[in-house]
Structure 1
């Protein structure tokens, strides 16, 4: 819970009483490797904060291929924000690719925090703005890079994540086949 509080404090001030209220609203959970946290078609009813592990956000394209959109690791919030805000079914799958631990906040708990803590909405808005900016920064460079450059960029930006993700998911994220990824790794590693 302390990692969550430290994360929130990067975006605004919270007093001891507010921190205790936040702690009382979060519920700790564990998820085994390869387990889905949520599936497409469900309406998100909570926001989670990853304390340990990596989650994969994916969808199925019109050919039926499982496509990885991105990965989210420790000390990050996870939610399909549009589906959550609008109360509509998500088009994404959220899967734990490692054994994971997270803290969940129900929609009701978040509404109570919003009504009780003056700075809450400002803190959440800063977190959402940062997440959206990071998402754009992840996707934009990949459009102009070839497969080897995308692979090397991923390792540079996410060194702690790269060796914890199955190759099939990494290949899907990079937009290449697993055999192409194997060739690229072989060429780089000699």
Structure 2
């Protein structure tokens, strides 16, 4: 997504950070002032309701941009949590530094558009799947889209991503095995 010379420019204004498993990049309610490129590890975006129930929005793998973008853009509190599911290395970019860089070189406008398009396409697919597909099909698609992830994260997190209860996921898994 980004060539070596432009990555070097980002590294020049950014800061490499390591999040340990369970650490937060941002918490719900915080006003974000940075975004990041995920270099290694695995990240989860999730919402939490007033009863403490979590709803996984997405999983972010290396090579992707990490941000509470709308909140960063509007300088408003984030509506969700961004948490490391395993030790993760990030290149954090301060938003004000980013805006300055973006003004200097139109490459960064194109970079931003590509990142937003990728995020939008993923969001559109996820919404369609949640609205039109049954839980078993969503689970099968999860296994195809995220090979090996099932061994890295909890069944609760998978169920919350699929929009089902853990008990329903257990039934689906048993049915698929049997």
Q: Same fold (TM over 0.5)?
A: yes
Give the aligned partner of residue 175 of structure 1: 163
Q: Give the counterpart of 1:165 among 144, 153, 160.
A: 153
> What TM-score results when the alignment is normalised by the length of structure 1?
0.85
Give the aligned partner of residue 123 of structure 2: 135
1:19 Cα deviation after fit: 4.8
1:23 Cα deviation after fit: 2.3
Give the aligned partner of residue 73 of structure 1: 61
Equivalent runs, 1:116-135 vs 2, <5 Å:
116-135=104-123
1:8 Cα deviation after fit: 1.7
The answer on whether the counterparts of 1:73 and 1:161 sit within 8 Å (CA) in structure 2 is no
1:62 Cα deviation after fit: 4.9
Give the aligned partner of residue 32 of structure 1: 20
Give the Cα separation in 1 of the matches to 2:59 and 2:9. Answer: 30
1:160 Cα deviation after fit: 4.0
CA RMSD, 1 decimal: 1.8
Give the Cα separation in 2 of the matches to 1:79 and 1:19. Answer: 17
Give the Cα separation in 1 of the matches to 2:148 and 2:52. Answer: 30
- Is residue 56 from structure 1 mapped to residue 56 from structure 2 by the alignment? no
1:49 Cα deviation after fit: 0.8
Aligned to 2:28, the other structure's residue is in SS state coil
> What TM-score results when the alignment is normalised by the length of structure 2?
0.91
**After the TM superposition, which parts of structure 1 deviate over 4 Å for at least 4 consecutive aligned residues?**
none
1:63 Cα deviation after fit: 4.4
The answer on whether the counterparts of 1:26 and 1:105 sit within 8 Å (CA) in structure 2 is yes
Question: Relative to structure 1, is the Cα distance of residues 69 and 114 closer, same or farther in structure 2, using a 3 angstrom cutoff?
Answer: same
Equivalent runs, 1:76-95 vs 2, <5 Å:
76-95=64-83
Aligned to 1:159, the other structure's residue is in SS state coil
Question: Where do 5+ consecutive residues of structure 2 fail to align?
Answer: none
Give the Cα separation in 2 of the matches to 1:152 and 1:47. Answer: 31
Aligned residue pairs, count: 178
- Is residue 8 from structure 1 mapped to residue 2 from structure 2 by the alignment? yes
Give the aligned partner of residue 141 of structure 2: 153
1:169 Cα deviation after fit: 0.6
Give the aligned partner of residue 175 of structure 2: 187
Aligned to 1:102, the other structure's residue is in SS state strand
